[in-house]
Amino acid sequence: MKKHYILALMASVVCGMSVQAQESVQPVQSQKGRSQIERSEIPPLVQKTGSLLRSGATNLADSLIRADGNGVNMYKFVFEYTENGQESCVSGYEWDAATSSWASEKFNSYTYTYDENGNQIRIVYEEIEDGQVSTETTTNSYDDQGRLTSTYFVSDRKHTLETYAYGDDGNECYYEERDSTFVDGQFKKWSIGQEVHTLDDAGNATKIIYLTFDEWKDKETDWYQYAGEEITYDSLGRMLTSHYYRMNDEHVVTYTEDITCTYVEEPSVYTYEQVKTDEGDISYYAIKYEITDGNPQIEIMSCKYAEGDAWTVVCRDAYYYPQGSSVANETIQENVAPICKLQSSNGTLIITTSEAVPVQVYTMNGACCYDATVHGQATIANLPAGIYIVKCSQETYKIKVK
């Protein structure tokens, strides 16, 4: 690995730590790698800004009710939106079995802030327990091409700074994470991790090299690869496969994780299968999402822990739309627009706008295949034949790609 591929280590203040605090702790290498999905974990609230987005706020989901696998209510989430149809706030309420009603006070909330280009620049998460509020804040920064350059996370006990730098050809991204933990009034430990991402033309990471070190020597630290990942995508930018591997000190692979994703358009089904091999021991885990359109729109998540097992329903999400709105296509305008012109031919969609506006393109099952600010003309190639929904600022259109 050439030295210029490695991100420059941050100097002086890192993750909110003073210089004195940094000198009092020993850095450790981060070997987090990919995020692991635990069997007992229920996936977080699915954000629907990239799914079934319709023209006019009345056609955005206003609430979600999550029930467990037995159909017992657990949580209710209430959505608020910006003028551009992006989520501005999600508030969560717990089900009170004793009174058979929803709690009057929320137990958590997410608040989102966006810049003029529609990039999410701030997320504030609040959790309320016994009248006490704990807050977590994430701040994102972007370059002039709309690419993420840094993410700064702050909570009462933890600070994390993630930085992203991009190669001149746009095909590489260099990632660094610095993490610190706050205990008894001071930072007790902090860790550093680095990654090198190879990007495709759509900005998806097709290869990731995870780096670590043996001894901390500040800017003279010797970094080496301890893990890697190779990822493939379909024409809509959805992940198809992932092969992750981790090596021991002798550079021998001792752990692998293979993921396969399948998508069925009619009915809308998404399956995620994960096979892990750890020192010869093999484990299996799979998640399936089944989506049924309507009001409410129903999304059922099931899981299984062996290939021959039957699927077990874990939770059921019901997305409710305002009374009188529809998630069908009758409310969508045809492709004649004052600020957006659409053309299609041979698997290509051409979008022309008269001003700088946020544009998103969705398949009929809600999968987002394009999301960017367009001023002039944008060309999206290699699209499968079918009907697509194009959201251009506050206007929504339907177009057929052959």
pLDDT digits (tens, 9 = 90+) for 218-268: 889 999 999 999 999 988 788 999 999 999 989 899 999 999 999 997 778
In a domain, 362, yes or no: yes
Residue-range definition of the domain harbouring residue 340: 333-401
Whether 55 and 396 have beta carbons less than 8 Å apart is answered as: yes
Same structural domain for residues 266 and 350?
no
Longest Cα–Cα distance of the chain, Å, equals 64
Which carries the bigger pLDDT value, residue 99 or residue 27? 99
Task: Tally the C-alpha atoms within 13 A of residue 121's C-alpha that lie toward its C-beta.
Answer: 11
pLDDT at 112 over 70: yes
Q: What is the pTM of this model?
A: 0.68
Report pLDDT for 22: 39
Local confidence band at 79 (pLDDT 50, 70, 90 cut-offs) = very high
274 falls in which pLDDT band (50, 70, 90)?
very high
Q: What is the mean pLDDT of the chain?
A: 79
β-strand 205-213 against 186-199: which pairing, if any? antiparallel
Residue 314 has pLDDT above 70, yes or no: yes
* Residue 375 within any structural domain of the chain: yes
Looking at the structure of the chain, the number of domains it has is 2
Closest Cα to residue 299, out of 311, 308, 288, 290? 290
User: What is the rounded end-to-end Cα distance, in angstroms, of the chain?
Assistant: 44
Task: Assess whether 275 and 360 both reside in one domain.
Answer: no
The answer to whether residues 316 and 337 belong to one domain is: no
Higher pLDDT pick, 302 / 381: 302
Whether residue 281 lies inside any domain: the answer is: yes
Tell whether 294 and 343 lie within a shared domain: no
Percent of the chain with pLDDT over 90: 43
Same domain membership, residue 212 and residue 258: yes
**207 plus 352 within the same structural domain:** no
Q: What is the CATH number of the domain that holds 371?
A: 2.60.40.3080
- Regarding whether 231 and 110 lie in a shared domain, the answer is yes
**pLDDT of 42 strictly over 50:** no
In a domain, 89, yes or no: yes
The domain boundary, picked from 273, 289, 320, lies at 320
Amino acid at 228: G
Q: How far apart are CA 213 and CA 216, in angstroms?
A: 7
Which pLDDT score, from 0 to 100, does residue 364 have? 64
C-alpha–C-alpha distance, residues 204 and 272, integer Å = 18
Q: What percent of the chain has pLDDT over 70?
A: 79
Instruction: Tell whether 210 and 340 lie within a shared domain.
Output: no
Predicted confidence (pLDDT) at residue 150 exceeds the cutoff of 80: yes
Which of 267, 290, 320 is where one domain is finished?
320
Residue 326 resides in a domain: no
Structural domain contains residue 161: yes
Domain identity same for 315 and 363 = no
